[in-house]
Amino acid sequence: MPLAVHALESDPTTDDAFSVPEQSPYVFASVSNGSVEIFFNDQKTVAAEYPNLAATIGASLTLYMEVDSLQAVLDRVQKAGAKISMPVTDQFYGMKEFAFEDGDGYTITIAQKMG
C-alpha cells in the first residue's frame, strides 16, 4: 500500500483509504475525511488519460468535482469556449466524467454518478 495511504489508514480521524489495485504496482489511491477526498494517481496512468499533464505547466494538479448535473456544467464550459481535454466518458468505477482546461492549462474533471 502507498506510504501516504498506509499512514492515513491508521489515523482514526480518516474516514476511508484505498488503493487500486490492492497489490503493487499501484495506479490509484484515495483517502477521505468527511466531505474532502484526495486522490493520488500514477503519473504514467494520468499522462495516458490527460496527455497535457505529461508536459510541464508549473505543477501536476488536476481538480475533480462531483456534480448533480454533468450536462449543465458541460453546456456552460462549452459556451465559455474552454478546451475539452477528455470527452464525456462512462468510467468503470461508476462515474460519468469529462475534463477541460482552465485558462492556465490546469485540468478540471467534472463527474456525476451514473445510474
**Angle formed at CA 42 by CA 40 and CA 47, multiple of 5 degrees:** 115
**Which pLDDT tens digit goes with each residue over 18-40?**
556 666 777 777 777 777 677 77
**Which CATH code of 3.40.50.10090, 3.30.720.110, 3.90.1150.10, 3.40.50.300 fits the domain covering 57-115?**
3.30.720.110
**pLDDT, tens digit (0-9, with 9 covering 90-100), for 42-66:** 777 777 777 766 665 555 567 888 9
Q: What are the residue ranges spanned by the domains of the chain?
A: 1-41, 57-115
pTM of the full structure: 0.58
Helix (H, G, I), strand (E, B) or coil at 6: helix
CA distance 91 to 101: 20
Residue 17 pLDDT grade (very low, low, confident, very high; cuts 50, 70, 90): low
Helix (H, G, I), strand (E, B) or coil at 24: coil
